[in-house]
Amino acid sequence: MARFLLTGGAGHIGSQVACQAACAGHTVLVYDNLSTGTRLVERWAELVVGDVRDRARVEDTVRRFAPDLTMHFAAKIVVPESVREPLLYYDNNVGGTISLLQALASCGTDRFIFSSTAAVYGIPQAIPVAEEAPLAPINPYGRSKMAVEHLLADLAASGQLRPASL
């Protein structure tokens, strides 16, 4: 069985993934600042309370846990708030992802799944939205997630990371 690190794993989606992974026999460590998550995830996983922007703490956690795969769910997600406070969203969603990726790289961990959002497509031309649809986000939340998708594509092209986006 595999060792899964789930950032933002105490939130709604992350905790569901943590439960399913643990029930399938995998070892799960959740790294979450608990700003919107809950400690209930401790039923299925070890919980480390921390912010993904704290690279030293993330790196220490990655070194200690040695994950086979990292799933990144940690993000600010409230669209109206992103419009009012775009720096908060870029700092958390882009800066936090960069911090996490740097920590993973320093530990030699390259298997990474990113939880993106349909907000990267903006107002879609067709529904259902095809994954190949043009990216055209209309708010800072969607643009911050799109920036991470571009970063992941660049890292994959360089051979430094094996990412996938959900």
Question: Hey, which residues are catalytic here?
Answer: 141
Residue-wise DSSP of 105-133: HHTT--EEEE---GGGG-S-SSSSPPTTS
Rounded Cα gap, residues 77 and 140, in angstroms: 10
Name residue 56's amino acid. Answer: A
Residue 91: partners with Cβ closer than 8 Å, 6 or more residues away: 53
In which element (H, E) is residue 28 found?
A: strand 27-32
**What is residue 42's DSSP assignment?**
G
* 108-140 b/e (C-beta count within 10 Å ≥ 16 → b): ebbbbbbbbbebbbbeeeeeeeeeeeeeebeeb
